A and B are shown apart, each in its own frame.
Chain A
């Protein structure tokens, strides 16, 4: 546990040592606010549906950028060799890194609090979907992060980690969308709909917190963190 905390602290701080974190959060907030308020006054409804609807797409670019350097950088400067001769298990390192990235993304998400505040001033929104939306966004962010981290563990090049991360996340996102399910054989449709990253977010975002959706995101996170631990161990059988 102490090891996870040590890795977590180090990773979390490393986001903020360079100005990248601040640039990142700023760009994230500016882009999402701009896109949201662009249509907000046209639709003229006091809710955040439009905002949360953007997130699966914004995360597609935003999250792999957070995770791209996690392993790639360690591999490139060979600190991974050192890390793996210290008395920490691969699982502790993976968890530490994941939790640090999750905290960073959560901070970015929560810094959009100005939107619900603004809406509350302008009208009287239903708080349920807003709370649900935030919980869903964090869960979805966690799933994207686990995928991005896993991808990063296969390369020492950050750019490759980013691009492949975007592609893999996009594929898992799109398999559940109507675009694919319409073309797929009918017996596969329920499975594809269940596996798609976006579908579970839609119901949470409507304010319906279903344990199946939460379970789905936790499983995705668990699955990809597991793959990540395996890929770190693969050095042993090279």
Chain B
């Protein structure tokens, strides 16, 4: 085990965490390469935060090991903590301090001092958009600004591994875009772990995604790989002008169509969801419409979204 040659930023082996009878994290195994933006996903209570608390050395695992660049969280805890920047889920802050005082304090704890610290604070102000709020008391800031202060706190020492637990909560859409770009930029040099239960957020930013449920890994891979895993198969959405029952029976008789579900009938227009067991029934569908003399205003092939994968995997 050498420190410099470790190719993984984070290596989690057989990780378990029990709270009394409750088995919060069950035998997790995963690796994160350097420079990756890694999405850590799961519904609330899946064990994301517990896992991150173990990675950040807040609590030790019940069994198994966690290594950050080859350093073990149980035995080299202080060295590991130096490498990590952590935005906790609840984003706790010292509300009686001003933003400036707080960042200075965190910087000092992180071992930065003097002019280096001043320049880092200045950088954090501009990166996180906090310049105007520098001398405000943290307790009086809005949720979005508090979130930015939490981010600035996590990044002030330029950490190798940045762990963001639900970083977007409380941010407005513009801020979400800003922070998303920020994360993407950071991911060029740094390793980022991004925990969330909002899939679209993660799929927009992450290189690789791990989905956990009830403390167990249920899927992992790139966003594309995961999408393909969906059992949803082929689904077409069509909007056809014609008689409802007629459409139902005729479409069902097309080879390959397994199910038709009428979503809405608006005057003569019938919106339907058509599931196919084989690929590419688009053409036969179109022929069917033409042969029956109906009109078609919409026909699209829907690929399964990550949301569907997520729902399928985490609802059991």
Contact = CB atoms under 8 A, between A and B. Distances in A.
Interface of A: 2-3, 5-7, 9-10, 13-14, 17-18, 77-82, 84-89, 235-236, 238
Given A86-B106, A89-B78, 19 more contacts: A2-B108, A5-B108, A6-B105, A7-B109, A10-B94, A10-B105, A14-B97, A17-B96, A78-B88, A79-B92, A79-B93, A81-B53, A81-B92, A82-B88, A86-B109, A86-B110, A87-B78, A87-B79, A238-B59
A88 B110 CA distance: 9
Nearest to B81: A87
Q: State the majority secondary structure of interface residues on A.
A: helix
Interface string B21-62: 000000000000000000000000000000001001111100
A13 B53 CA distance: 29
B95 interface: yes
Interface in B185-215: none
Given A236-B60, A238-B59, A2 B92 contact: no
A5 to B, nearest CB: 8
Contacts of B293: none
B96 A14 contact: yes
A10 B93 CA distance: 13
Interface residues of B, number: 30
B125 interface: no
Query: Which of B57, B58, B110 has its CB near the most chain A CB atoms (within 10 A)?
Result: B58
Among A17, A78, A82, the most chain B Cβ lie within 10 Å of the Cβ of A82
A87 B82 contact: yes
Contacts of A82: 86, 88, 92, 153
A32 B233 CA distance: 81
A112 B59 CA distance: 45
Nearest to B84: A85
Contact of B92 (A13, A18, A78): A78
Contacts of B113: 2
Contacts of B53: 81
Contacts of A88: 109
B90 interface: yes
Contacts of A2: 108, 111, 113
B19 interface: yes
Nearest to B80: A87
Interface in B210-260: none
Contacts of B60: 236
A51 B113 CA distance: 44
User: Which interface residue of A5, A14, A79, A87 has the most chain B CB atoms within 10 A?
Assistant: A87
Contacts of A17: 96-97
A85 B59 contact: no
Contacts of B78: 87, 89
B92 A87 contact: no
Nearest to B60: A236
A13 B105 CA distance: 11
Contacts of A10: 94, 97, 105
9 interchain residue pairs of minimum CB distance: A6-B108, A78-B92, A85-B56, A87-B81, A79-B92, A87-B82, A17-B96, A10-B105, A86-B109
